[in-house]
Amino acid sequence: MEYAVKSGNPEKQRTACLVLGVYQSRRLTPAAEQLDAVCGGYLGVLLRRGDLEGKPGQSLLLFDVPEAQCERVLLIGCGREREIDDRRFRKIAAHAAAALNDTGATEASIYLTELSVKGRDLDWKIRQLVEAAEDARYRFDQLKSKKDVPRQPLRKIILGVPGRRELAGGERAVREGVAIAAGVALAKDLGNLPPNVCTPTYLAERAQALAREFPALRVEVLEEADLERLGTGALLSVTRGSAQPAKLIRLDYRQGPATARPQILIGKGVTFDTGGISLKPGEGMDEMKFDMCGAASVLGTLRACSELNLPLNVIGLIPAAENMPGGRASRPGDIVTSLSGQTVEILNTDAEGRLILCDAMTYAERDQPAAVIDIATLTGACIIALGRHPHGLFGNHPPLVHALVAAGHAAYDRAWELPLWEDYQEGLDSNFADMANVAGNRDGGAIMAACFLSRFAKKFHWAHLDIAGTAWKTGKAKGATGRPVPLLTQYLLDRAAEAKDKS
Ligand code: BES
Ligand code: MN
Ligand code: ZN
């Protein structure tokens, strides 16, 4: 899809489809009023006749509007003017995108940019409209033998801005929206792929393909033999039961000053989580193919970062493995030695994410990171605690936690901090090793997992995003969400802006 920003009056646009807002109850937005003045009050008459109340979710497609330069007018219900907040605007944008896709128009000019959203500027609205348009077009049908290809003739979207002064900012917002949406789509594709296709080897191949597409990226894949030599005993313990070889995938993006410390993103890449010997119940187990969504979000974010040419140093680390039962699989009670030297008693083989992450975290020490952020579908308990709207967030450095909360708010991909108090740590005591991989009861499961990871984060600023509730949708709309690519990309955009301010 092609996007452009344009200043100028809506009524003068020679476009295949003009997209305008209508407030509740039956009130035209300023842009719609401008068109109405040209077409002799035609829109006003329709509203008074009761054809569109202006409620959110409503829309009306008009053809041959008298005196108008455009082929069609798509009116979108926006609800009450004063009630338009972030959430409502996202709904309006999503609904407009879906309605627009259903028309036969090949291009459209959207004026929903004029709606005022509390605390948000024009650039935010443009970015959200671009992300919504891309989201509405997303399909995952590569494995259906008969594709019910919906006709999607739409090729170009023009976003209206008030004047020439807003053009440069608007174009930047479009570039950011397009890059984020492409990162989200990549993360969705990887998440949605079945676990017999999306194996650790496949993830490594996709990382290499990404590096071919974006020369600023370099990839290195550590194989099991390399990992044995390194001494990542915790990571390797997870893959023992699997026929698929584990990998530690490393992506280097170095476009910042040579001396600038890198931001390191670590993504959990469990391509299927059966639980291992601590086998999960059968119901819904197919969804454990999504247990690599942290890894997918790292690839998606590095894609966005590369497309935007951010002047930063970023490293992506993806420990990838499949957690299976089998004759060689880890047993409850096994003790392994992590790369850090700390020993771990594996009391539950289903708490495998923390085992692969802790070794990747120790590995990250060698790059002297500015910050390490891990992203993981780590605990069912996080869904119990927070539901499926925010990511769970933990960290050992308040400014880093704050930066991630702020980035999540800015990108509308929100995270919520949970406590990581010392008081919880004793829950991981083991009689036989330095620590156990799970606590003796189910209390605060998301926190206990974060406590475990924190023991491997002593040498850097670190934050942990538990995306168990946010990485995919269950039920009828089952599918990966591509989150938290928007949050992470925003975090990197903010770091780039910060570096620019300092220089
Ligand atoms: N991948 C799961 C976490 C998960 C479960 C995410 C369900 C989303 C939905 C993780 O590896 C896991 O199994 N965690 C256990 C930890 C427990 C054994 C302490 C869990 O959450 O039950
Ligand atoms: Mn598990
Ligand atoms: Zn898991």
Instruction: Please work out whether the CB of residue 291 comes within 6 Å of at least one atom of ligand 1.
Output: yes
Ligand 1 atom closest to 323 (CA): 11
Q: How many CB atoms neighbour CB 290 within 10 A?
A: 29
Q: Choose among 390, 396, 240: nearest CA to 326.
A: 240
Instruction: Please work out whether the CB of residue 379 comes within 6 Å of at least one atom of ligand 1.
Output: yes
What's the CA-to-centroid distance between 350 and ligand 3, angstroms? Answer: 7
Look at residue 71 in the predicted model and tell me its pLDDT. Answer: 97
Pairing of strands 156-161, 2-7: parallel
Instruction: Please work out whether the CB of residue 321 comes within 6 Å of at least one atom of ligand 1.
Output: no
Ligand 1 atom closest to 438 (CA): 19
The SS3 assignment for 47 reads helix
What's the CA-to-centroid distance between 345 and ligand 1, angstroms? Answer: 17
Asked whether residue 503 carries a pLDDT value surpassing 90, the answer given is no
The count of residues in the chain is: 503
Q: Choose among 250, 227, 229, 230: nearest CA to 240.
A: 227
Q: Which residues surround ligand 2, an ion (CB under 5 A)?
A: 273, 350, 352
Q: Ligand 1 pocket test: which of 350, 452, 465 has the largest number of ligand atoms within 8 Å of its C-beta? A: 350
Asked whether residue 298 carries a pLDDT value surpassing 80, the answer given is yes
Across residues 475-503, what is the average pLDDT?
96
Percent of the chain with pLDDT over 90: 98
Q: Choose among 122, 298, 338: nearest CA to 207.
A: 298
Q: Ligand 1 pocket test: which of 293, 352, 354, 379 has the largest number of ligand atoms within 8 Å of its C-beta? A: 379
74 CB burial (10 A radius; 0-12, 13-18, 19+):
buried
Catalytic positions: 280, 354
Q: Which residues surround ligand 3, an ion (CB under 5 A)?
A: 270, 273, 291, 353
What's the CA-to-centroid distance between 45 and ligand 3, angstroms? Answer: 58
Instruction: Please work out whether the CB of residue 274 comes within 6 Å of at least one atom of ligand 1.
Output: no
At residue 44, φ and ψ (nearest 5 deg) are -60, -40
pLDDT tens digits for range 210-267: 999 999 999 999 999 999 999 999 999 999 999 999 999 999 999 999 999 999 999 9
* pLDDT, averaged across the chain: 98
Across residues 160-164, what is the average pLDDT?
97
What's the CA-to-centroid distance between 348 and ligand 2, angstroms? Answer: 9
pLDDT tens digits for range 273-294: 999 999 999 999 999 999 999 9
Asked whether residue 42 carries a pLDDT value surpassing 90, the answer given is yes
- Interatomic CA distance for residues 46 and 395, integer angstroms: 55
Q: Choose among 165, 163, 168, 160: nearest CA to 35.
A: 160
Instruction: Please work out whether the CB of residue 294 comes within 6 Å of at least one atom of ligand 1.
Output: no
pLDDT tens digits for range 376-394: 999 999 999 999 999 999 9
Instruction: Please work out whether the CB of residue 123 comes within 6 Å of at least one atom of ligand 1.
Output: no
Q: Do 78 and 32 meet the contact criterion of CB atoms below 8 Å apart?
A: no
What's the CA-to-centroid distance between 380 and ligand 1, angstroms? Answer: 5
Asked whether residue 149 carries a pLDDT value surpassing 80, the answer given is no
Asked whether residue 148 carries a pLDDT value surpassing 90, the answer given is no
What's the CA-to-centroid distance between 28 and ligand 3, angstroms? Answer: 50
- Report the predicted TM-score, pTM, of the whole model to 2 decimal places: 0.98
Instruction: Please work out whether the CB of residue 273 comes within 6 Å of at least one atom of ligand 1.
Output: yes
- Interatomic CA distance for residues 227 and 189, integer angstroms: 28
Nearest C-alpha to atom 5 of ligand 1 is from which residue?
A: 380
The SS3 assignment for 415 reads strand
pLDDT tens digits for range 95-132: 999 999 999 999 999 999 999 999 999 999 999 999 99
Q: Cis omega before residue 194 (within 30°)?
A: no
Ligand 1 atom closest to 352 (CA): 11
Look at residue 22 in the predicted model and tell me its pLDDT. Answer: 98
Tokens found for residue 339: 């790369």
